[in-house]
Amino acid sequence: MEQWAGFGITFKTIFRKTFTQGYPQKGKEKVTMPRFHGRHQLNRWPDGLEKCVGCELCAWACPADAIYVEGADNTEDDRYSPGERFGHVYQINYLRCIFCGLCIEACPTRALTMTNEFKISDDTRLKMIYEKQDLLAPLLPGMEQPPHPRRLGDTEQAYFLGLPDTGTPDTRTGSTSGAAK
């Protein structure tokens, strides 16, 4: 009689509709929680320069060895970040990534964050290695594509507090861009 109990469970659930039936054509998009760990993003300063300084701390913190960073020096003519260095090569191998978030905790400049995007599958292994241009945040209105000189202030303190020439905090993103609270 016990062997028929298993068949009973099978027949009870075999005709039940699953949430994946008809995906992605039918149904509502799955809503993720605000702190969901999805695809990574390399953020920018309000003038368009990259926040990544090429320190490689995210690569050191990654337990799956999924991140590769190669830093390079900025020059006055060729400036990609406001500091001395920038991330020249930045790669994340999503076949290795376990989405633990240790890389974003290790980042001292909040250059690396995780978005809520979870549809990152592809048909080849090569497409699963995201390069720097795939990870960079899009340019918002008022931002300029690097390389260019710093635009948010004459001094480093003014720049990193996000103070433009007017002396008021930059409010385009709804925050004070890193100012102490």
Is 111 annotated in a binding site? The answer is no
Is 124 annotated in a binding site? The answer is no
Is 107 annotated in a binding site? The answer is yes
Is 92 annotated in a binding site? The answer is no
- Secondary structure (H, E, C), 31-97: CCCCCCCCCEEECECCCCCECCCCCCHHHHHCCCCCEEEEEEECCCCCCCCCCCEEEEEEEEECCCC
What is the rounded CA–CA span in Å between residue 85 and residue 79?
9
Is 55 annotated in a binding site? The answer is yes
Is 103 annotated in a binding site? The answer is yes
Is 100 annotated in a binding site? The answer is yes
Residue 130: DSSP 8-state: E
Q: Binding-site residues for [4Fe-4S] cluster, please?
A: 52, 55, 58, 62, 97, 100, 103, 107
Cite the annotated binding site by residue number. 52, 55, 58, 62, 97, 100, 103, 107
